[in-house]
Amino acid sequence: MTGSISPPPTKRRKVRAECGNLTDFGATLETSTTTAASDPSDQPVHIISWNINGITPFVRHHLTKPITNYFSKSPKSVRIPSSQSGLSQPPSLRAFLCRHNYPHLLFLQEVKINSKDEATQRAVQAAINTPESSETAQLPPTYTAHFTLPCDPHNARGFGGRIYGVVSIIRDDFADRCVSAVRTVDWDVEGRVSIVEITSPQPRHPIPSPLPPSAKPSAPRPASSHDDKPSTAHPSNIAVFNIYAVNGTNNAYKDPKTGTTCGTRHDRKLAFHKLLMEESLRYEARGWAVILGGDMNVAPARIDGYPNLRTYPREHIVNRADFNTRFLLGEDMKALGGNEDGEHVFQGIDIWRTLHGPEASGYTYYPRGTAWGASCDRVDYFVISKGLYEEGKVVEAEIHANALERGPSDHVPISMVLSLR
């Protein structure tokens, strides 16, 4: 387990000395807010992931005004009732980006956008680029949103197709310099995986500027098993996965092509783990490092659930063991009821747990209708290639657990800072 790996003290002190104490992102990531003239590949990469549990509260205003106004002054706030958020705050994606000093990557999960709903997709692009009245930067960064939305006719029909889905929001100056591609995968059509390929410092295929008002948001290109050809990989090549993992239930899972029932959502969750692991291993085989970030829908250990870890039904235990085996340092699969042939697994590191220690408590899921902290789980986290940790690339990993950061969601954001040097 990750708790058995002690962070090298000298290495952590060295990284912190170079980059500063990044526990307070608002105070120490000022370098991330520099103008486009700066070279973003020289800065620590700030990544935030958040299960937003529905994008509608953040884009409602942009759906009721001409989309041509998305670079106008800050819109009137649509405030969340204090009974929902714990605090009265406007649900604004741009305000979130400003508050966190313009992260390079913002991964959103469970956005609940119908794949044919172009108006909402344009509204998201407007929401992340409409300046806030409080912005003081002379040239505040702009962003581009990349959508991976469900197109499964049999498993993504609920709520009029407004279900699942992830959005990868990338800062344009960083994309131009460091991002070569944004991809999805051909083995999932529920809108659960988006991959941002970082090939710092040389740009290859710059991401386009924000969408013009009449433009149709482009879909990411699927990454298939035919893409795993040898490449001229550079040690700094990193595949960053935005993940909304399957939530295991006893509901039926249907073949996406035929509609035939072929097990439960628990079965699909196990299959998702295997496919995600294989995708990660393909990158590593080509010399890439991998970062898996998002809502994994698994609390890895007893300490990650309060007051209790989910153990009923039994499938939750099986799902947890399967995830830990495939992604967290490759525990023996046979001992956990896995592949008796000794399947090669992704030996990753739960970076928050590793940096904060085996006894640290921190949670990311705070359900609505329950008193804050009365019941919570840590199901959102980053799992990274072991090499990134051993090389001292990770500067910090944090959970932003408070009612303000939770906003209208039932999850709080997580973040990590990565050095490309």
381 is catalytic: no
Q: Is 295 annotated as a binding residue?
A: yes
Q: Is 250 annotated as a binding residue?
A: no
Q: Is 51 annotated as a binding residue?
A: yes
Selected catalytic residue, list 295, 322, 377, 380: 295
Residue among 65, 117, 61 nearest 93 (CA): 61
Provide the Cα torsion 316, 317, 323, 328; round to 10°. 140
Estimate the crossing angle of helix 265-285 against helix 315-327, to 10 degrees: 0
411 is catalytic: yes
Selected catalytic residue, list 70, 253, 283, 381: 253
The total number of residues written for the chain in this structure: 421
Report whether 387 contacts 289 (CB < 8 A). Answer: yes
283 is catalytic: no
| Structure-token pair, residue 412 | 């709080």
Strand-pair partners of 292: 241, 383
Selected catalytic residue, list 61, 100, 266, 411: 411
User: What amino acid is encoded at 35 in this protein?
Assistant: T
Q: Which residues are annotated as a binding site for Mg(2+)?
A: 51, 110, 295, 297, 410-411
Q: Which residues are annotated as a binding site?
A: 51, 110, 295, 297, 410-411
Catalytic residues: 253, 295, 411
